[in-house]
Chain A
Amino acid sequence: MAAERKTRLSKNLLRMKFMQRGLDSETKKQLEEEEKKIISEEHWYLDLPELKEKESFIIEEQSFLLCEDLLYGRMSFRGFNPEVEHWCIFQKLMLQMNAKHKAEEVEDETVELDVSDEEMARRYETLVGTIGKKFARKRDHANYEEDENGDITPIKAKKMFLKPQD
């Protein structure tokens, strides 16, 4: 009775590796293809028509620098600020223009390159603070503490040990 009916093994069992060792290469390929078919059918896909990507050839820019050739925004005339005239991108143009003027009016005006006394005093004030900070020791840094606004607060009295009175 048992010999008449051949026990049928399930598909999953037949797909297992140890069952396939005895198979031919052709049947193996067929089984592989069937597997792939099942897997690909399970994958999801969008059923949309193909949209062509529009290559946009218009570029949007919000800056005026591309549109108009603007000069550099910092200028100095007649030697008022020689550093700026040095930095200026069109320094040659400026110096040429100023040179023309200097040649014409050398007699009338001498270009003053001296710094005024007030500026000198102001610079020394800030200089002492910044250089002093560099050489101050760690404990002295408390004297140079800056406020929220960046102002250097006046030096507070150092906290010393106070002997209790009884």
Chain B
Amino acid sequence: MAEPASVAAESLAGSRARAARTVLGQVVLPGEELLLPEQEDAEGPGGAVERPLSLNARACSRVRVVCGPGLRRCGDRLLVTKCGRLRHKEPGSGSGGGVYWVDSQQKRYVPVKGDHVIGIVTAKSGDIFKVDVGGSEPASLSYLSFEGATKRNRPNVQVGDLIYGQFVVANKDMEPEMVCIDSCGRANGMGVIGQDGLLFKVTLGLIRKLLAPDCEIIQEVGKLYPLEIVFGMNGRIWVKAKTIQQTLILANILEACEHMTSDQRKQIFSRLAES
């Protein structure tokens, strides 16, 4: 009688940690703890006398694991902080362990270092532009962080312009800073986004889905007519086509494709291709 009660209590409390390997692809909720592969054997039921020795031998040769967005380090385990599906990527080469992360959905963007985002210039004060990126604070962008910019040769940036840049500093303690050049000093496609076009907002998950290497949506969209798209990791997309109508069609497709199945999408594309 005592056993079922204790098991029920445990399952209610949710204190049993699951192995990360078994939960891949499943939905995880915040507060769950996940065990990494090396620890499963050590904490398995019924330890033999040899187990403690093998644990010590392994402790020196532990593999480095990266815990990505949605996960946190909690002692030796991973603690889930966002609800979504658990994903894992095997290491390509070099240091092992791989990457674990939670594939979640949200609309609010939190600046992360290295992300390419679309920002709107809101103010110009001295040598710094204040750029709204959708985060809690406007990011600062120095006028020297453009390709070929010197103290005398200032970039032609006005308030209200769209900027495509990446973050160099982005943490919870400091104001985010962005630049429009890479480490070599080349623009690489970053900088002021040209005139006209349409800027609209989507969820962050859709951006990642569209930028996946094997995304069919982008390939199909590119076949329709000449166009230009810029994706910002902060949920903003800028599109431009030759006529306003084409631009609006494109914006509608991209907004709607989040909730469409692939069949519905193909229907729409075939209809567009005909007209």
Contacts and interface: CB of A to CB of B under 8 A. Distances in A.
Contacts of A165: none
B195 A58 contact: no
A107 interface: no
Interface residues of A, number: 42
A31 to B, nearest CB: 48
A63 B69 contact: yes
A73 B231 contact: yes
Given A64-B233, A67-B89, A87-B189, A57 B65 contact: yes
Nearest to A119: B195
A30 to B, nearest CB: 47
> Chain A binding site: helix, strand, loop or mixed by DSSP?
loop
A67 B222 contact: no
Contacts of B188: 87, 89
Given A67-B101, A68-B208, A78-B227, A60 B73 contact: yes
A43 B202 CA distance: 64
Contact of B187 (A57, A68, A87): A87
A128 interface: no
A82 to B, nearest CB: 10
Q: Which of A62, A77, A84, A97 has the most CB of B within 10 A?
A: A62
Max chain B C-beta neighbours (<10 A), residue from A61, A97, A149: A61
Nearest to A87: B189
A71 B213 contact: yes
B124 A150 contact: yes
When A and B form their complex, which 3 residue pairs have the shortest distance between CB atoms, in order from nearest?
Answer: A78-B226, A77-B222, A73-B231
Interface of A: 56-81, 84, 87-89, 97-98, 101, 111, 119, 122, 126, 130, 148-151
Given A60-B73, A62-B113, A69-B213, 5 more contacts: A58-B64, A61-B69, A71-B215, A74-B229, A81-B194
16 contacts: A57-B63, A58-B67, A58-B73, A59-B66, A61-B69, A62-B69, A64-B101, A67-B69, A67-B99, A73-B116, A75-B218, A78-B225, A80-B240, A97-B219, A98-B222, A150-B158
